[in-house]
Amino acid sequence: MIRVDPPEWTGRDDGPGPEHLRWHRAVLPLSAADRPGTALIGFASDEGVRRNNGRTGAVEGPAALRRALAPLALHTPAALYDGGDVRVDDRDLEKGQAALGESVAAAMGNGHFPIVLGGGHEVAWAGYLGLDRGLGADRTRTLGVLNIDAHFDLREERVPTSGTGFRQIAENEQAHGRPFHYAVVGISETGNTGVLFDRAHRLGVRYLTDTECAPPAVERVLDFVREFVASVDDVYLTLDLDALPAWVAPGVSAPAALGVAPEVVQAVIDTVAASGRLALFDVAELNPALDADGRTARVAARMIDRIATRRSTL
């Protein structure tokens, strides 16, 4: 595991003034932060994907997400910072997850809102470690995990993988006498075995399948999200890009045959961002080597931009 300093952000420059502002001109190193803002932290890892027998390449996800974010126009003033990457390059996933947790907790401790750029979905356990610490070891506020994903990621394996993160979170919450509040939008019935559905039911997981998330049903989806968010104090929102249709997001380890339309995903993200309860956001499973025309990175960048510019702190 190594820590990598943030890269220099570059891109098109149309002129001075806020009317020409793009992400690459707004982002500053986290070390130069003079006020609270949004802190981007990369988790360059696909070791969990490798352990889960998936297609590797997500280790390059953070760099691709930054490239996709750089040219986006900024219409809302925002304090944006880049905290660099935690890179897992020695197969020591557990050490890398602990290090990312430290970075997330440190950002929260300095008043920043963390957005983690994955990386495989092993980022879930890593981000949770930081959030758990950032919210306080003796926290009494309830935490809800909202996952936009085709998979439950509740696997029981000998070692942590990209498919075990939410089972690990469940075990840690229960070990501390706290309820496990977990909801998933976009579950693929054919992508999860009966064992995983049974485990989800035993853990009280709330979910909507991909077929229940079709655009005509968007209000039902948003009602589901609002009800879940209202039931907790703080929300960890995680977007696994394999929840999106394969023709929208081909650059993932396991492309979705059906998936959830990007308009629905964006509506979910906007709803959570406006709730005033969002504590952590991450994007997982971008594999640039599989990303035709960079389209997965671009749709992910749009979602990140929505969170960074629309998040309410009410």
21-45 residue pLDDT tens? 999 999 999 999 999 999 999 999 9
Give 105-154 pLDDT, tens digit per residue: 999 999 999 999 999 999 999 999 999 999 986 788 999 999 999 999 99
pLDDT value of position 55: 97
| Residue in 136, 72, 3 with CA at minimum distance from that of residue 304 | 72
Among 36, 86, 81, 225, which Cα is nearest to 148's?
225
pLDDT confidence bin for 266, thresholds 50/70/90: very high
Which DSSP helix (H) or strand (E) runs through 49? helix 47-51
- The reported pLDDT for the residue numbered 73 is 97
Which amino acids are annotated as binding site, given as ranges?
Answer: 121, 149, 151, 153, 240, 242
Contact indicator for 232, 181 with CB cutoff of 8 Å: yes
Q: 181 or 1: which carries more pLDDT confidence?
A: 181
pLDDT band at 1; cut points 50, 70, 90: confident
* Among 68, 121, 112, residue whose Cα is nearest residue 93: 121
Predicted TM-score (pTM) of the model is 0.97
- Residue 314: predicted pLDDT: 55
How would residue 17 be classed by pLDDT, with cut points 50, 70 and 90?
Answer: confident
Residue-by-residue DSSP string for 97-160: HHHHHHHHHHHHHTTPEEEEEESSTTHHHHHHHHHHHHH-TT--S-EEEEEE-SS------SS-
Q: Is 162 strand, coil or helix?
A: coil
Spell out the residues 6+ positions from residue 47 whose beta carbon is closer than 8 angstroms to its own: 88, 91, 92, 93, 96, 120, 122
Is pLDDT of 198 > 80?
A: yes
CA distances from 160 to 37, 97, 109, 169 (A): 32, 10, 27, 11
Range from 59-63, 249-253, 308-312 carrying the lowest mean pLDDT: 308-312
The annotated binding site for Mn(2+) is made up of 121, 149, 151, 153, 240, 242
Residues 50-90 pLDDT 10s: 999 999 999 999 999 999 999 999 998 899 999 999 999 88
Which architecture, in CATH terms, is 2-310? 3-Layer(aba) Sandwich (3.40)
Q: Bridge-partner residues for 148, per DSSP? A: 185, 239
